[in-house]
């Protein structure tokens, strides 16, 4: 079962591969989910092209290039020594240096980072920029931690990570609970340890090598992609009711752009509940959330206490009526029951701001209901695309103006949309975005992998 032969001739044996994957990486359910989602869409290619089977491309991609795991020790405000675990998963370096975010969250595990790094490889390929796929993080929970504790933790994390990264080796960035503050602390420690200043992290502040539009890029890029989806269906955002989940970087910038373009965002959420605003969040509401001191859940509750909307404690947004849903919080936040409710209430477009926010069963519901669904590897690629542009600027010691980068972001999202249409259009006119993105991303990575020989 573990030999390449099982998957090479005469055709690709999908059940055997699934068995191999689950036996080889027991319990890594998120990783299995991401691999199998891609695999189901590209199976016809594997059946058709003997080269992919002989080269054993799928098994090679189901095994990251390397995984670094390490202990982080740091001292909390009470003088107590704390211990956490950190990882960097360098999934594939065939189309460029490893590139992907860092996540700090108690749910972070090797499985979660492997799924994120796997997704990142194909997402980065879709951007058309020279970036391989990686992801890192820690099970550190920043909730309730002081600024000093966050700084010491970031420094402890970088004390180990610094020897594995570099501007042409591996370039981390932010993800859940890693924003500009954390990138600043991580970059400062990297710079001190490496004794040189370069673009080894992206998402930096503008004062030390950051790029305009990087902060906004994932959320704005998501909405640019959504606009293309709507255009392809002969529709527009104007007046549409939109559900957004999350209230972090991606969710708030997506909500800001939707509100700016005339759509009606009626929800934002956190792990504590949902804020429902019937007449829609205005740009001023979103700016208050973006620029306020409070974290997502507390900020939403504060808005509710000011009389802005209704706080639905412990609820997700998915029971509210909408035409468009933008899950922007975390993996598997939208389950099949939610998908059924969305479909029955008139939702027709789903674009993922988060990575893998919909369960496999939810995706089947969308497919059956004819809902147009964009996978994160296509629709949330704007963030890493801007990171790529930050790398370009750092490498040539320049800083491009905001408007120019915003135009480039839109153009990249439009090109990704075109790739999805090219590979995902069906005879009945339906665009299967997930299949399109998976085929386009896989073919790019597979070609580069094969061309570089075995090793
Ligand atoms: P943030 O930390 O800024 O915000 C995360 C938001 O999601 C918070 O509102 C948080 O609420 C909520 N959330 C986190 N975990 C859960 C959970 N288990 N259940 C419900 N809500 C939860 O992160 P980002 O906005 O940067 O990231 C959001 C998603 O977008 C992630 O999937 C990330 O991988 C993806 N992404 C991010 C990119 C980026 O550039 N930042 C690029 C592409 C994708 P609470 O505070 O209550 O936990
Ligand atoms: O999931 C993602 O694409 C990110 N968190 C952004 C990665 C990056 O390197 O900018």
Q: Which among 379, 413, 433 is the end of a domain?
A: 379
Pocket of ligand 1 (CB under 6 A): 174-177, 179, 218, 246-251, 270-272, 295-297, 328-330, 333, 353-355, 380, 383
For ligand 1, atom 4, name the residue with the nearest CA. 248
Same domain? 266 vs 373: yes
- Domain assignment present for 239: yes
Instruction: Report the candidate in 413, 318, 312, 322 with the shortest Cα–Cα distance to residue 357.
Output: 318
Helix axis angle, 249-260 to 214-232, nearest 10°: 50
Same domain? 40 vs 71: no
Q: What is the pLDDT of residues 97-137, one digit of tens each?
A: 999 999 999 999 999 999 999 999 999 999 999 999 999 99
Same domain? 153 vs 135: yes
In whole angstroms, what separates CA 100 from the centre of its chain?
Answer: 9
Is 330 touching ligand 2 by the criterion CB < 6 Å? Answer: no
The pLDDT, as a whole number, for residue 1 is 46
The pLDDT, as a whole number, for residue 2 is 47
Q: Which among 149, 171, 198 is the end of a domain?
A: 198
Give the strands of the sheet with 170-173, arranged side by side: 66-75, 81-92, 132-138, 98-104, 170-173
Distances (CA, A) of 396 to 358, 399, 447: 39, 9, 29
Same domain? 84 vs 183: yes
Distance of alpha carbon 192 from alpha carbon 241, whole angstroms: 48
Same domain? 330 vs 224: yes
Ligand that lies nearest to the alpha carbon of residue 170, given by its number in the listed order: 2
Tokens for 223, please give them: 């909405």
Q: Which residue(s) pair with 75 in the sheet? A: 81
The pLDDT, as a whole number, for residue 412 is 98
Same domain? 73 vs 35: no
Q: How many domains does the chain have?
A: 3
Distance of alpha carbon 195 from alpha carbon 47, whole angstroms: 51
DSSP state of 163: G
For ligand 2, atom 10, name the residue with the nearest CA. 384
Which atom of ligand 2 lies nearest, measured to the CA of 100?
A: 9
Distances (CA, A) of 162 to 22, 107, 126, 268, 404: 32, 23, 28, 36, 32
Instruction: Print the domain residue range for 54.
Output: 3-61
Same domain? 266 vs 309: yes
Tokens for 8, please give them: 């090479």
Annotate 20-51 with DSSP letters as a single string. HHHHHSTT-HHHHHHHHHHHHHHHHHHHH-HH
Distance of alpha carbon 229 from alpha carbon 207, whole angstroms: 36
Same domain? 35 vs 137: no
Q: Which among 61, 89, 110 is the end of a domain?
A: 61
- Domain assignment present for 450: no
At a CB cut-off of 8 Å and minimum separation 6, what does 196 contact?
none
CATH number, domain with residue 283: 3.40.50.720
Q: Which of 135, 240, 264, 377 is catalytic?
A: 135
Q: Is pTM, for the whole model, over 0.85?
A: yes
Largest CA distance in the chain: 66
Task: Please choose from 116, 124, 134, 270 the residue to mutate so as to test ligand 1's pocket, defined by most ligand atoms within 8 A of CB.
Answer: 270
Same domain? 226 vs 375: yes
Residue 86 near residue 157, CB atoms below 8 Å: yes
- Domain assignment present for 433: no
**Below-70 pLDDT ranges, the chain:** 1-9
Same domain? 192 vs 223: no
- Domain assignment present for 236: yes
Same domain? 46 vs 72: no
H/E segment holding residue 206? none
The pLDDT, as a whole number, for residue 7 is 57
For ligand 2, atom 9, name the residue with the nearest CA. 100
- Domain assignment present for 386: no
Same domain? 171 vs 192: yes
- Domain assignment present for 16: yes
């Amino acid at each position: 079962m573990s030999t390449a032969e099982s998957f090479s001739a005469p055709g690709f044996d999908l059940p055997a591969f699934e068995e191999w994957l689950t036996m080889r990486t027991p319990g890594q359910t998120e990783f299995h989910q991401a691999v199998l989602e891609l695999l189901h869409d590209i199976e016809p290619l594997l059946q058709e092209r003997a080269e992919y089977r002989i080269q054993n491309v799928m098994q090679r991609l189901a095994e990251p290039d390397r995984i670094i795991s390490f202990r982080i020790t740091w001292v909390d405000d009470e003088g107590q020594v704390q211990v956490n675990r950190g990882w960097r998963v360098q999934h594939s370096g065939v189309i460029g240096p490893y590139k992907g975010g860092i996540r700090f969250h108690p749910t972070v595990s090797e499985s979660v980072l492997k799924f994120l790094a796997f997704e990142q490889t194909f997402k980065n390929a879709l951007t058309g920029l020279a970036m391989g796929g990686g992801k890192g993080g820690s099970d550190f929970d920043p909730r309730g931690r002081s600024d000093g504790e966050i700084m010491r933790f970031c420094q402890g994390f970088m004390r180990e990570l610094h020897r594995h990264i570099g501007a042409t080796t591996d370039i981390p960035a932010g993800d859940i609970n890693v924003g500009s503050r954390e990138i600043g602390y991580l970059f400062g420690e990297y710079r001190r340890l490496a004794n040189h200043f370069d673009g080894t992290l992206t998402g930096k502040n503008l004062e030390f090598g950051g790029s305009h539009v990087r902060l906004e890029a994932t959320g704005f890029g998501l909405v640019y992609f959504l606009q293309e989806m709507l255009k392809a269906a002969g529709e527009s955002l104007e007046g549409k009711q939109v559900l957004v989940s999350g209230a972090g970087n991606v969710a708030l910038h997506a909500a800001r752009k939707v509100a700016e373009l005339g759509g009606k965002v009626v929800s934002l959420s956190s792990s504590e509940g949902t804020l429902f605003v019937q007449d829609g969040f205005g740009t001023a509401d979103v700016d208050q959330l973006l620029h306020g001191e409070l974290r997502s859940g507390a900020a939403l509750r504060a808005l509710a206490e000011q009389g802005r909307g209704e706080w639905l404690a412990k609820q997700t947004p998915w029971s509210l009526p909408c035409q468009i849903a933008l899950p922007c919080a975390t993996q598997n936040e939208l389950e099949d029951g939610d998908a059924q409710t969305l479909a029955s209430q008139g939702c027709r477009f789903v674009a993922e701001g988060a990575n893998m926010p919909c369960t496999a069963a939810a995706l089947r519901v969308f497919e059956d209901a004819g809902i147009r669904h964009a996978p994160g590897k296509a629709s949330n690629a704007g963030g890493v695309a801007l990171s790529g542009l930050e790398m370009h600027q750092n490498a040539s010691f320049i800083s491009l103006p905001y408007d120019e980068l915003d135009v480039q972001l839109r153009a990249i999202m439009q090109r990704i949309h075109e790739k999805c249409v090219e590979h995902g259009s069906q005879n009945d006119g339906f665009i299967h975005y997930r299949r399109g993105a998976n085929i386009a991303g896989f073919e790019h990575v597979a070609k580069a992998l094969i061309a570089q020989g075995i090793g």
